[in-house]
């Protein structure tokens, strides 16, 4: 199962040596792909997110919605404002952003609320949970004029948060297990070293029964697929643990997850035989995670069915699942487009630029097709009846 090699390989040699050592120290001289991916992305000294302070944005490897304009963060702020209103404007309302990147989204949200909804701004407590020390340092510099706090998960008490946990393009960066169907059996894909010192993939029995349990959770019978031999995909067990943590920390409020992905029936469609794993380097996509090790991002699409069902098991209730385009339109992006049509105070060049930016956020073949999952915990029946603005448009079929 050797992977095709791309032309220029600029891997982090120190990181490669650490991975080789981890493989050599393992009992069977192999590690799961999830362990490999975790080292590549999150090793504290040499991982991708530890060594690349400019890996997100126009000069980096990929763009997220906040990089296009302030509109994304401002519209999210409107949704948070309504959540606060639904709770009768309590004195304590906490926003917990998980995986805050460069802090751009936080800056958009807080700046907008400070300018337009000062009463809410003065009420909220804004927390960030960030694994990367490099990104955390950049966030602190960018947000130094705001009252933002950084926490680790174990520093947040059980049932202590009233407000909203939210993330944008976080879950796709969780480490995933890779598997393949061989001889009518689910086999896990492991990473080992060959005689030339290259990383290669081999298959073996699954490393944990949680993989088989995952497919029961999402109600997918892989072995019933037609022509199933050789089918490959991923399992994100870390996302299930994440759901459990969120529910444990949340006393009352919402969980808002925005990411690219599918519900399980589409994610594990028999036609998608190679899975969803992809890598990004300088805005170019490839499918070789053994190239430019530590220099490129590795992601996998999100299985939203797994988040919903694990959330339900953990005490969360699903309020709705929609697409980012519909979510933002319901929050007022359409009104912003209409204002451009009236051309109030904008030059023609500014109108075209703004229109292009706003359309990019709702593009049905791009960012607009991202999934938006909203879950809740601890709401009263009366509070549940109040539809969130972002979910007020019917989902696309």
Average pLDDT of the residues in 89-117: 96
The chain-wide mean pLDDT, for the chain, equals 91
Higher pLDDT, 365 or 242: 242
Of 344 and 112, more confident: 112
Least trusted range by pLDDT, from 43-57, 124-138, 213-227: 43-57
**Can you give the three-state secondary structure of the chain, one letter per residue?**
CCCCCCCCCCCCHHHHHHHHHHHHHCCCCCEEHHHHHHHHHHCCCCCHHHHCCCCECCCCCECCHHHCCCHHHHHHHHHHHHHHHHCCCCCCEEEEEECCCCCHHHHHHHHHHHHHCHHHHCCEEEEEECCCHHHHHHHHHHCCCCCEEECCHHHCCCCCEEEEEEEECCHHHCCCEEEEEECCEEEEEEEEECCCCCEEEEEECCCCCHHHHHHHHCCCCHHHCCCCCCCEEEECHHHHHHHHHHHHHEEEEEEEEEECEECHHHHCCCCCCECCCEEEECCEEECCCCCCCCCCEEECCEEHHHHHHHHHHHCCEEEEEEEHHHHHHHHHHHHHHHHHHHCCCCCHHHHHHHHHHHHHHHCCCCHHHCEEEEEEECCCHHHHCCCCHHHCCCCCC
Instruction: Give me the pLDDT at residue 345, please.
Output: 65
pLDDT of residue 358: 82
pLDDT tops 80 at residue 364:
yes
* Distance from C-alpha of 210 to C-alpha of 341, rounded to nearest angstrom: 53
Distance CA 259, CA 367 (A): 9
Contact 305, 216 (CB under 8 A): no
Q: Using CA atoms, how far apart are residues 395 and 312, in angstroms rounded to an integer?
A: 21
How much is the pLDDT for 61?
Answer: 46
Average pLDDT value for residue range 135-159: 96
How many whole angstroms separate alpha carbon 294 and alpha carbon 282?
13
Average pLDDT of the residues in 52-60: 51
| Tokens of residue 241, six digits | 């643990």
Q: Which of 304, 300, 303, 299 is nearest to 375 (CA)?
A: 304
Among 61-75, 107-121, 178-192, 242-256, the minimum mean pLDDT is found in 61-75
0.85 cut: is pTM over it? yes
Does the pLDDT at position 281 exceed 90?
no
Residues 203-254: tens digit of each pLDDT: 999 999 999 999 999 999 999 999 999 999 999 999 999 999 999 999 999 9
Q: What is the rounded distance in angstroms from the CA atom of residue 315 to the CA atom of residue 318?
A: 10
Decide if pLDDT at 4 tops 60: no
């Amino acid at each position: 199962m050797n992977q095709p090699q791309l032309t220029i390989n600029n891997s982090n040699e120190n990181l490669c040596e650490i991975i080789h050592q981890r493989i050599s120290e393992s009992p069977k001289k192999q590690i799961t792909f999830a362990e490999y991916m975790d080292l590549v992305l999150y090793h504290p000294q040499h991982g991708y997110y530890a060594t690349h302070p400019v890996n997100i944005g126009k000069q980096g490897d990929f763009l997220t919605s906040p990089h296009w304009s302030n509109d994304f963060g401002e519209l999210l702020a409107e949704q948070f404002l309504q959540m606060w209103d639904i709770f009768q404007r309590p004195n304590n309302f906490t926003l917990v952003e998980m995986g805050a990147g460069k802090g751009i989204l936080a800056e958009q949200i807080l700046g907008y609320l400070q300018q337009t909804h000062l009463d809410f701004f003065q009420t909220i407590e804004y927390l960030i949970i960030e694994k990367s020390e490099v990104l955390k340092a950049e966030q602190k510099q960018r947000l130094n004029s705001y009252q933002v706090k950084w926490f680790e998960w174990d520093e947040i008490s059980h049932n202590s948060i009233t407000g909203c946990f939210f993330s944008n393009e976080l879950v796709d960066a969780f480490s995933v297990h890779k598997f393949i169907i061989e001889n009518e059996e689910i086999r896990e894909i492991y990473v080992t070293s060959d005689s030339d010192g290259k990383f290669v993939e081999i298959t073996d029995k699954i490393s944990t029964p949680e993989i088989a349990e995952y497919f029961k959770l999402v109600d997918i019978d892989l072995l019933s697929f037609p022509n199933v031999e050789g089918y490959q995909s991923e399992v994100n067990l870390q996302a299930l643990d994440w759901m459990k943590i969120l529910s444990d920390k949340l006393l009352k409020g919402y969980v808002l997850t925005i990411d690219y992905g599918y519900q399980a029936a589409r994610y594990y469609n028999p036609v998608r035989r190679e899975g969803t794993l992809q890598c990004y380097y300088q805005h170019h996509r490839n499918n070789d995670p053994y190239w430019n090790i530590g220099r490129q991002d590795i992601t996998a699409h999100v299985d939203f069915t797994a988040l919903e069902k694990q959330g339900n098991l953990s005490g969360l209730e699903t309020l709705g699942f929609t697409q980012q385009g519909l979510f933002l339109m319901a929050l007022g992006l359409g009104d912003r487009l209409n204002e451009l049509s009236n051309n109030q105070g904008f030059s023609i060049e500014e109108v075209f630029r703004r229109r292009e930016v706003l359309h990019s956020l709702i593009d049905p073949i791009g960012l607009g097709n991202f999934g938006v999952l909203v879950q809740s915990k601890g709401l009263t029946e009366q509070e549940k009846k109040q539809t969130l603005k972002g979910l007020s448009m019917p989902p696309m079929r």
